[in-house]
Amino acid sequence: MDTISYLGQTSFPLIWLLAAVVGAAIRSRHSTSRLARLETFQRWWAVSALGLGSLWLVIAFLAVPDAMAETIGFARTPFEFEIAFANLGLAVLGFRAVSASARERITIGLGAGMFLWGAVVGHVYQWFANGDHAPGNTGGILVYDMLAPAVMIILARRAQKLARTGQPAVAAALV
């Protein structure tokens, strides 16, 4: 595999994180308060980073399981089907987080983290124990799996702290 192709494949998961940040930045540029801006970022993160990022994996693992197995450096097994439906659960949680409270978003982030951070451990193990440098095992997917739940938790905790300081209620922080 040539370097450009490898970089494209390994970086693809980062598109969902980038879309969340860019979308939220554009949408919140006229926000009236820090809390409203933070709410916009949380909603965009929920929809794009966790929701659409996970939905993309559902579709990929169900539609092209052979290609996904090759991308992660494994032989095709029933594992792809299981990963598809685990990601469907994460996508539903991501879409649910759009209208959730900060406390619910923390819980959703922790739930997503249990799966995704476990996946990070598995990817790193495969990387070092078996030399698996496939584009779907190292690089962008590691960053995605670490940041998708972590940023959701951090944003929700920040919203809780801002709400306690008496920031005005969020009125129009729509996605």
pLDDT digits (tens, 9 = 90+) for 38-70: 999 999 999 999 999 999 999 999 999 999 999
At 167 the pLDDT is 56
The answer to whether 97 and 105 have CB atoms below 8 angstroms apart is yes
Q: Could you tell me if residue 41 is inside a domain? A: yes
Q: Could you tell me if residue 80 is inside a domain? A: yes
Q: Could you tell me if residue 81 is inside a domain? A: yes
Q: pLDDT (tens digit, 9 = 90+) per residue, 112-149?
A: 999 999 999 999 999 999 999 999 999 999 999 999 99
Q: Could you tell me if residue 27 is inside a domain? A: no
* pLDDT score of 151 more than 80: yes
* pLDDT score of 36 more than 90: yes
AA letter at 26? I
Q: Which residues, 6+ apart, have CB-to-CB distance to 156 below 8 Å?
A: 42, 102, 103, 105, 106, 109
Q: Report how many domains make up the chain.
A: 1
Cα gap 105→122, rounded to integer Å: 25
Q: Could you tell me if residue 132 is inside a domain? A: yes
Domain with 75, as residue range(s), is: 34-164
At 79 the pLDDT is 86
Q: Could you tell me if residue 13 is inside a domain? A: no
First-residue to last-residue Cα distance in the chain? 39
At 175 the pLDDT is 45
Note the pTM of the prediction, 2 decimals: 0.89
| Mean of the per-residue pLDDT values of the chain | 92
* pLDDT score of 31 more than 80: yes
CA dist 65 → 76, 78, 138 (Å): 7, 9, 18
Q: Could you tell me if residue 144 is inside a domain? A: yes
Q: What angle do CA 33, 103, 29 make, to 5 degrees?
A: 25
Give the mean pLDDT of 149-171: 84
Q: Could you tell me if residue 175 is inside a domain? A: no
At 173 the pLDDT is 46
Give the mean pLDDT of 156-166: 91
At 1 the pLDDT is 60
